[in-house]
Amino acid sequence: MNWNESSPSGALYQMSDLVCGPPAWTARSGPLYLRWSGSSDARQDDGGALEFVLELAPGERHDLVLEISDQALDDPVDASRAWKATEAAWSAAVPRLGASLAPRESRHSYAVLTGLTSAGGGMVAAATTSLPERARAGRNYDYRYVWVRDQCYTGQAVAADGPHQLMDDAVAFVAARLLADGPQLKPAYTITGGPVPDEQSLSGLAGYPGAAVKIGNWVNQQFQLDALGEALMLFAAAAGHDHLDSGHWKAAEVAAAAIESRWGDPDAGIWELDNQHWTHSRLMCVAGLRAIPAAGAPARQARRWEALACTILADVTADGLHTSGRWQRAPAMTGWTLPCGPPGLLTEEYDIRQRQLRGNLPQAFVHALLFESAARLTRPWDAR
């Protein structure tokens, strides 16, 4: 194995100070401390990488522990103790979901989404960057940021089963961003709520498979109208569990006011394309404006939001409804795919010619909706 690490500025740090002091290898990578235990028989090749061949008899076990820290490492981790602590922590973090149609799969989805969520409540869209749509060609992006839309999807999905922690995390993060930015709400933020850095390519580091390595994302320059509607849908779902406090209601009012002032503006849409009057963006605002009044808004405010929803719906019906009766993506535009990895993580695409998973692994679109479907299908159909 070989290590390198990039800083937020994009600088690359190579592994250095590699020392074998049984039973562990230690090294540095810029500001990071590294320790690899259980591998004292490993040897360096001519390129500096560590190579290790491990042969085990049937039923035999051997623990390999890699520790990475921004502080000097203390005593080596006891693998058995760490494993038990990890199991206990995940057991406490993931609800039993016994009422779900597919509890095992739903728990897995909840665990994946929890793993993508920071201590501050921000859930990154994916843990990956620079995985291209085609080998050695095509677009690739850095999705290691919190997309407001994805977090709203997750919160709404979780609310279908109950007021679990991921719902509260979503409400808190989205509300904070609305109160801070209002009608200038960005499509994505860092996990601390800061601005997403500009997109840049890193030199000297090979991507997979043969792609350029990128950090940052150009979404920081975009406006995506549908995120405001999704926020209202999220708040309405949380209100259904009585988990919306006065600060969250203020954020809902800010979102509705932002829709009122910006619904006529062209936006980049759900797929981050060119600015147009995207049908989906406007319909999501209609859905949000109609969902939030039922969550307990004062009558006068509810009437105002319903009137705004009717105005937007009339506009999108005029230019977004095809003569066949179906919605089209945008005015004068008619007419995307997801396939599965062994660990249950789903990629954006599958290349049927090269027979490889392609694109990054954005989990909210798939795991949140899997979770929600399993929860909703256990209950009688409600026509509303």
- pLDDT per residue over 116-165, tens digit each? 999 999 999 998 888 877 666 667 889 999 999 999 999 999 999 999 99
Alpha carbon distance 247, 237 (integer Å) = 16
Other CB atoms within a 10 A radius of the CB of residue 61 amount to 7
Which two three-digit tokens encode residue 84? 């038990």
- Overall average pLDDT of the 253-275 stretch: 94
pTM for the complete prediction?
A: 0.83
Measured CA to CA in angstroms, residue 259 lies from 36, 269, 299 at distances of 52, 14, 19
Which residue segments constitute the domains of the chain, with CATH numbers given?
A: 4-87 (no CATH), 102-376 (1.50.10.10)
pLDDT at residue 250 tops 60 = yes
pLDDT of 128 reads 85
Q: Which residues pair with residue 26 across a beta bridge? A: 19, 35
Amino acid letter for position 165? Q
Backbone angles phi, psi at 122, to 5 degrees: -75, 130
Alpha carbon distance 9, 85 (integer Å) = 34
pLDDT of 106 reads 95
195: DSSP letter:
P
Alpha carbon distance 365, 10 (integer Å) = 29
Alpha carbon distance 202, 186 (integer Å) = 25
Q: What is the mean pLDDT of the chain?
A: 88
pLDDT at residue 339 tops 50 = no
- The SS3 of residue 17 is strand
Alpha carbon distance 218, 231 (integer Å) = 22
Residue 97 Rama label (left phi>0; alpha psi -120 to 50; beta): left
Beta-strand runs (E) in 139-258: 146-147, 188-189, 200-202, 213-215
pLDDT of 259 reads 98
Distance from the Cα of residue 79 to its chain's centroid: 29
Q: Are strands 200-202 and 213-215 parallel, antiparallel or unpaired?
A: antiparallel
Alpha carbon distance 224, 181 (integer Å) = 13
Beta-strand runs (E) in the chain: 4-6, 12-21, 24-29, 32-37, 43-44, 50-51, 65-69, 146-147, 188-189, 200-202, 213-215, 349-351, 356-358
- Which tens digit of pLDDT belongs to each residue from 306-334? 999 999 999 999 999 988 888 999 987 65
Alpha carbon distance 315, 313 (integer Å) = 5
